[in-house]
A = this chain, B = another copy of it.
Amino acid sequence: MSVERLLEGLDRHEPAALARAITLVENQRDGFEQVLSHAHSRLARGGARRVGITGPPGAGKSTLTERFIQHYRAAGLSVGVVAVDPTSPFTGGALLGDRIRMESASLDPHVFIRSMATRGAHGGLATTTEEVADLLEAFGFARILVETVGVGQTELDIARSAETTVLVLVPESGDGIQTLKAGVMEIADVYVVNKSDRPGADKLRQEVEVMLGIRRGNAFRHVSPHHTTQPRMEEDGGGRERAGPVGAIGEWEPPVLATVASRGEGVAELAAALDRHYAYLEASGRLAERRRQRLAARTRAVLERAVRRWLVEATRAEELLAQRLDEVVEGRRSPYDVAAEILDQIKAGAAR
């Protein structure tokens, strides 16, 4: 199918065209940037919201996602889901059983669920996930849920590309303080203790609240003249927009909620918290600010990827890499000498 026909299909709102467009983008086939550029022209309409859902394996994120779908559908909103499953080179997604069942069960045309395997994706996964979310938004879905399994850096980058990030924990997530140490705790806008009918749920909630309180305490010390300010903290202040007041509206205080997703308990309250967070982002001006930051980061990522593709496809870089490999393996040259040589050739135009 030509890219033109694909774009026509998207404009006619054909789900098959959407599925094809996603595959094109996932595999970065010819024309994928044209499709994304087309999608971008349809994003500014507004109305769509993106929610990132992250947390350790077994926290019940998929169940929670299903409940969100029900909740939003009941409110007449269409829902697109991008689920990023970390899969090994071996299974290649074979363990996506749950997800596949969920996908095939979804006969509602106002629901679209897509799984992405992390297999083979290096570095660019966060960008690709965001691009798939763009396709869903451009297609007209009102709520985009981006679900990532795992608590690593890549997963966090993915979850953060959403307007609101939800971190889902369960009492059995592990020793409380160790979970906090993973550092991922502090990235969320809304915290959820799922399976909150299990032992240890209240304790975990309290621990998370204490941890968030500690962080707010730090943020306070940061601006107080009575305490010495640590350089580390100043440096970090710019990383996330939460430290320090913005305009007339104060800081967002991340709530810690309890759910039993399997029974649907607490889901409406959670959805209400997401709405409050979105309203906060709008009222504080942070929605526009985040959008600008995201677009700047995206443009940079797209450029870097384009440069990488250019190196591979249109320069002699690959050929030179292959030619020099023996010398590197034999220890006659270092990867750094070889990279410098190839870069020089690229600069000089000689590698083209």
Q: Report copies per complex.
A: 2
- What are the residues of chain B within 8 A of A306 when measuring CB–CB? 339-340, 343
A87 within 8 A of B: yes
Asked if residues B317 and A299 are in contact (CB atoms below 8 Å), the reply is no
Asked if residues A336 and B37 are in contact (CB atoms below 8 Å), the reply is yes
Asked if residues A183 and B325 are in contact (CB atoms below 8 Å), the reply is no
Contact of A299 among B232, B243, B335 (CB under 8 A): B335
A75 within 8 A of B: no
Asked if residues A186 and B92 are in contact (CB atoms below 8 Å), the reply is no
Report how far A86 CA is from B311 CA in the complex, Å: 31
Closest to A97 in B: B181
- What are the residues of chain B within 8 A of A93 when measuring CB–CB? 232
- Among A123, A310, A349, find the residue whose CB has the most chain B CB atoms closer than 10 A: A123
- What are the residues of chain B within 8 A of A185 when measuring CB–CB? 88
A151 and B154 contact, Cβ closer than 8 Å, known pairs A36-B334, A92-B232: no
A228 within 8 A of B: no
Question: With contacts A40-B335, A303-B338, A307-B308 known, what are 18 further pairs, Cβ within 8 A?
Answer: A56-B174, A57-B179, A88-B239, A89-B239, A90-B215, A91-B186, A92-B233, A120-B239, A125-B153, A149-B182, A150-B153, A152-B152, A172-B172, A296-B325, A299-B325, A302-B335, A304-B311, A306-B339
A binding-site residues for B, Cβ under 8 Å: 33-34, 36-37, 40-41, 43-44, 56-58, 85-95, 118-123, 125, 149-157, 170, 172-175, 178-187, 215, 218, 232-233, 235-236, 239-240, 242-243, 291-292, 295-296, 298-300, 302-308, 310-311, 314, 317, 321, 324-325, 328-331, 334-340, 342-343, 346-347, 349, 352
